[in-house]
Structure 1
């Protein structure tokens, strides 16, 4: 039986279930039927409608300028790569979290630090924080994917369900000339969880949680769960392939090819 193809076995199971029969397949064939790569279970594309209308947040710029021909406008960026908010192409990602974690790609930079600002649809500042960047001997911070959680203990209310929020990430090139900041931004929309989401997540393995979140189109949960798996299992090829597919699915192909490793901005 080891030569049975996956599609042939699937037809056997379909017929058996229709007739109420029990079919016992070899363990190797059962594994073939039930095991699929994590990447194969992720969506090919993430389509979110960007908020519109008078109450929509300000437009976002997922990718900050970064081409060498405009290098004079980016005095602290040391590569052709762009500061990029890791969000779908519309700029909008959904979450069920009261305090989600945002991700961005940071190019090699001489910036003194980063600033994160969260605003509501009326452009009112809800939260902001600044962090210094760790520098190497040449005075630069290396490129890599970074993340920052919105902390629950920062004295601002949980994100409201059904509301849109804009997060803006700035590389501070010159603290005395903030007009030289390099800026990228994205949207967060908090949504209501499906009725049984919490139970399914509780009963699932970490890999299964990635698939659950992806199928629910919860961008920020999918991103942080898959990223944590990669940090815990850095040599797992399946996780790496899934990560690359996730980024490619939102048009961030160049970042998907980066191999510089992840860096986390720790919250004190």
Structure 2
């Protein structure tokens, strides 16, 4: 009789384990990944941002190019006064780099830019990020900014530098967005909320530097895929170039996970 109860308990334990594993699997596979939807109506820069050169990087033979991971066809938005910026570096060699942030004076006919941040970095291959420190004065709501990353290939030859650029608009966080974010329990949920509402910098920022598990990687690649499609559908030659660059980066990122 004792032996019979032991076998029965073992069967029940195995059954519970099977249910738990199946439930976990279903929970992981039914996570909905939101598409990135540009703000409506989207704002576009008066002039195209620079896509520098045809070479991949300082090594001149990379399969990808220095690329800002942000919209080109329209201006990406954020509700954060301390957003995260991301870009892709093709070079394996560590090189000096600058992150530069400018305030755009839209009332000026020429939209002059004033440098407000100039940070020296060292490159690492792949996706790099820079977040504005919470200890510093943040960006202003309702303001447009211009940012760029510059790789210094040869310090004695400034003309050899490689540049990639982008714009960002800081907008007011709406009450319904606050409510939705308050109910989110993890970065993936928050990224989905931001992406669905057109906040590129916030959505991508949530997953690009917050973990390396399967869901983070899947959403990161999903957002980049959306961005490549959006750029490809634009009328600008620069946006078309940006789309091709992002596709190259996606290929590299996917192969790196195999």
TM-score by length of 1: 0.67
1: CA distance between counterparts of 2:38 and 2:130? 22
- Tell me by how many angstroms 1:222 deviates: 0.3
Alignment correspondent of 1:128: 118
Alignment correspondent of 2:167: 187
2: CA distance between counterparts of 1:110 and 1:229? 25
Question: Partner of 1:175: helix, strand, or coil?
Answer: coil
Alignment correspondent of 1:177: 157
Q: Residues 66 and 80 of structure 1 are in contact (CA less than 8 Å); yes or no, is this contact kept in structure 2?
A: no
Alignment correspondent of 1:241: 218
Q: 1:112 aligns with which of 74, 87, 95?
A: 95
2: CA distance between counterparts of 1:176 and 1:91? 35
Alignment correspondent of 2:177: 197
1: CA distance between counterparts of 2:194 and 2:158? 38
2: CA distance between counterparts of 1:144 and 1:158? 27
Deviates more, 1:106-115 or 1:178-187: 106-115
Shift >3 Å, 4+ stretches: 35-38, 45-48, 74-78
Alignment correspondent of 1:223: 204
Q: 1:102 aligns with which of 61, 85, 98?
A: 85
2: CA distance between counterparts of 1:213 and 1:65? 33
The one-character-per-residue Cα deviations of 1:36-80 (angstroms, maximum 9, x if unpaired) are 4333x223x53632133xxxxx6412x433447xxxxx6444413
Q: Residues 162 and 189 of structure 1 are in contact (CA less than 8 Å); yes or no, is this contact kept in structure 2?
A: yes
- Tell me by how many angstroms 1:89 deviates: 2.9
CA RMSD between the two structures? 3.0
Q: 2:31 aligns with which of 14, 37, 43?
A: 37
Q: 2:249 aligns with which of 249, 255, 260?
A: 255
1: CA distance between counterparts of 2:100 and 2:209? 24
Q: 1:51 aligns with which of 39, 45, 54?
A: 45
Matched, 1:60 2:14: no
- Tell me by how many angstroms 1:194 deviates: 1.1
Unpaired segments of 5 or more residues in structure 1? 1-27, 53-57, 69-73, 134-140, 263-268
Count matched residues.
207
Q: Residues 77 and 109 of structure 1 are in contact (CA less than 8 Å); yes or no, is this contact kept in structure 2?
A: no
1: CA distance between counterparts of 2:140 and 2:256? 33
1: CA distance between counterparts of 2:216 and 2:122? 30
2: CA distance between counterparts of 1:225 and 1:146? 14
2: CA distance between counterparts of 1:243 and 1:95? 17
Query: Which structure has the highest helix share of the two?
Result: 2
